[in-house]
Amino acid sequence: MAVSIIAHRGSNKVAPQNTLPAFRQAIAEGTDGFETDVHVTKDGKLVICHNYTVDATSDGRGAIADYTLGELKKMDFGSYFSDEFKNTPPPSVDEFLDLVDPTGSELVNIELKCPMGGETGIEQKTVLAIKQHGMIDRCLISSFNAGILKNIKTIEPRLRTGFLYPTIQHSVSRFVVNPFLIVKRIHADFIHPMYPVVTPLLVKTAHKLGVGVNVWTVDDEKTVQRLIDCGVDGIITDVPGKARAWADAYEEKKRK
């Protein structure tokens, strides 16, 4: 089967990350799936944004958890990217799901951020939103926090989960930890490794255990080709249009 291309925060090299314009661009580029990030606002709503604060991608300052959804909607999340996207607001989870639902994608990857202020309920709120949109079979919840993924399976066993690891900021030990020990404990359906740690043996081991492999974040042709040779299931990328073209060309070459 052809490798799946998953748009990381939308097509975020063409439009501001994690905004509806970025996701629309990814759809136009023929992406197979979507990856995005969810936080809980001050008034308990779910909003799309990568960072815990709005500083880097808006004209506001401070933590997302200190604002209501309505207050966040008044901020400009587009001008940091270009004037073309001035006054673009952050989407709610409902708006995101409304947009991607008609695409028929079965790879709607929602990464849950562990609340910094101790707020609980992000798992329940996210599962409820997915159920209300009738997308249980099409969504995948990923997180670096194994506890969150374990909670998701308790709340809704049908919902697929993916364990994210590692990041450059983590200690060296995180690069060599056996992810399958964690996957077995939390009954995750996927591992989501960072691309440098992916090998044919890793993918083969995952598949023997019935675990899928989606890799992040890959934006160059040679790495796409290497990962296809490793046998990964999905590639998360900032450039979904280019990555799809690279993957199609390489898979066609391998078939000849």
Enumerate the H helices of the chain as residue ranges. 20-28, 69-73, 93-100, 122-132, 146-155, 173-176, 179-186, 200-208, 221-230, 240-255
**Known active-site residue 8:** yes
Is residue 124 within 8 A of residue 50, CB to CB? The reply is no
CA distance 9 to 34: 7
The answer for residues whose C-beta is within 8 angstroms of residue 128's C-beta and 6 or more apart is none
CA distance 238 to 6: 9
**Known active-site residue 133:** no
Distances (CA, A) of 242 to 11, 35, 103, 249: 10, 16, 19, 11
- Pick the catalytic residue from 8, 39, 133, 192: 8
- Pick the catalytic residue from 39, 50, 192, 207: 50
Which residues are identified as catalytic? Answer: 8, 50
